[in-house]
Structure 1
Amino acid sequence: MNPNLQQVNHFFNKKRFRLSLILVILGLAYAGASLGLGFQTHSLLNIQDGIAWLIQNFIPNEASKGYWHEISQQLFRTFLVAVAATTCAAVGALFLAIIGAKTLTAAITVSWVIRGFSSLLRNIPIVAWAMILLFSFKQNDLTGFLALFFMTLGFLTRAFMETIEDFGTEKIQALQATGATYLQVIFQGLLPEIAVALMSWILYMIENNVRDATLVGLLTGTGIGFIFNLYFKSLRYGAAGLVVLSVILLVVTVELISNLIGRLLS
């Protein structure tokens, strides 16, 4: 047999073996999880019944229109909490990123401390933040704000640090060689150069926090999440469906506006 053909066959046999091994591992993981939960796989065959029930009950009807005023108020309230948490976190994240970026920090230890701090904040799920803060601040808008703030602070700090470090040590040294001070390098050289990238991260987090704010509202008893929970538990499914539709429209609108701003800035 041709040596080249043997190599090709060996390559594909190796790839097939790896693929088969991955599929076996996934299958065993699913089987183990199903047995542990007592989940019956054949229940998936009846999923169309659940979808039919959703279509029948969750489509907003004529009676649901009477809830629109209350829904729009809470939706706007949720949006404001998400925007406020993101913008406040962005200011704090920029300050921490400037201090902790390897290209700007005076001590590498400071950089590692800030990186560890930001990783801790962003790796705690938003639901966990809400549950932790509930013990101290109870069910109110402040709890939702703080939960979004802490998670966003950790995420944006890390993102801003990487953006600043991508600016490059050589450019910073070149600015310093011209006689620019530390503050001039940051505010007149660095920030104008990376402003578009920073704004893109902020817009992304606003989009993300609008979604998360809905979930946080379920726990904190505020905003659109609370209204959905109230309507659903009181069997007002049409109104609950209108809440879901309004959240989808808000998220899509925020994303479209973010994309438009991103194109204008670039």
Structure 2
Amino acid sequence: MAARKLAPLGPNGGAEDSLAKTNAFFRKKTLVLFAMVVAFFVINGVSGAFVEFDFVSAAVDVPAGIVWMLSEFAPSASSLEYLDSIMPALGSTILASVASSCIAAVFSFILAVLGSRSVGIGGPMALIVRAIASIFRNIPVVAWALVLLFSFKQSEFTGFLALFLTSFGYLTRCFLETIDEMSTGPIEALRATGATYFQIVVQAVIPMSVTSVISWVLYMIETNIRDATLVGILTGTGIGFVFDVYYKSFRYDVAGLTLVTIVIVVIACETLSNYIRRRIM
């Protein structure tokens, strides 16, 4: 068999070939990125033209809108007199958010354990639980509030139920992923010793998932406090109702003070949640 002749390489032949491949790679990436940017602007332009949205006019009006918002919604000294009506409503909103998140977490964890692929009861339960979680999670909290409004009227329970149903779907999905990602070593060891299903859940599932569960519940409380404001506008309860009353009464300074209290509570809740997460993890 004739020996194959190889082309001689110069002293820097390998380095030059590698450099050429690197340049070609980055040139291709640059072209792809440029094409994506162009496509983004084209899609936005077509969408704006379809809905008759003028980007230039909107950009010009943004500074004036910000100035008006800061001047009209800035709390004044006289608006502080309304704290007596704002704080109780804010407190009820916080309590409703915490209660809906915690109660939903209990039901979600039970359902997630039963539908888990690693420790579930098997059969079609896994598919049923995921279907339930998807349905409840993908219906917006505003839609839940509007639907429940016709059945339970404007009441605290309507807002609580809307937050509960949304939290139930979201937490069920999160707990399912948490339990499925756990190590199966302790579970298999307990099964080998003849432990019952309840013992496996108590001795293995709960200890290994408790930190993630607490983290998700804290996140859900933060989210519900924000969502409760919008739900309160629809159900006529809580801090959302107080904001809506002052906003429609053209008392923008009091409405701005209401927003400030909501922001302070959300930031405080987020800070506390982050502290607890760092302590338990």
Q: TM-score range by the shorter chain?
A: over 0.9
Question: Match of 2:7?
Answer: none
Amino acid aligned to 2:149: L
Question: Match of 1:135?
Answer: 150
Question: Match of 1:109?
Answer: 124
1:83 aligns with 2:116: no
Question: Match of 1:261?
Answer: 276
Question: Match of 1:7?
Answer: 21
Secondary structure of the structure 2 residue equivalent to 1:168: coil
| CA positional deviation for 1:188 | 2.3
Query: 1 CA distance for matches of 2:18 and 2:246?
Result: 67
Q: Percent identity?
A: 42
| CA positional deviation for 1:192 | 2.0
Amino acid aligned to 2:164: F
1:237 aligns with 2:252: yes
| CA positional deviation for 1:193 | 2.5
Question: Match of 1:200?
Answer: 215
Query: 2 CA distance for matches of 1:132 and 1:121?
Result: 13
Which residue, 197, 200, 212 being the options, matches 1:185? Answer: 200
Q: Which one has a larger percent helix, Structure 1 or Structure 2?
A: 1
1:41 aligns with 2:55: yes
Query: 1 CA distance for matches of 2:279 and 2:107?
Result: 25
CA RMSD of aligned residues (A): 1.5
Amino acid aligned to 2:61: N
| TM-score in terms of structure 1 length | 0.95
8 A Cα contact 1:96 1:157, kept in partner = yes
Question: Match of 2:107?
Answer: 92
CA-to-partner distance for each residue in 1:93-134, whole Å, 9 max, x for gaps? 011011000111232421011011101111111112112222
CA-to-partner distance for each residue in 1:164-204, whole Å, 9 max, x for gaps? 12223332110121232211111122212221111111111
Question: Match of 1:158?
Answer: 173
Which residue, 2, 24, 46 being the options, matches 2:38? Answer: 24
Amino acid aligned to 2:103: C
Secondary structure of the structure 2 residue equivalent to 1:179: coil
Query: 1 CA distance for matches of 2:165 and 2:185?
Result: 33
Question: Match of 1:119?
Answer: 134
8 A Cα contact 1:97 1:158, kept in partner = yes
Query: 2 CA distance for matches of 1:139 and 1:7?
Result: 67
Once the two structures are overlaid, the 10-residue window that deviates more, 42-51 or 74-83, is 42-51
Gaps of 5+ in 2: 1-12
| CA positional deviation for 1:33 | 2.1
Query: 2 CA distance for matches of 1:135 and 1:182?
Result: 42
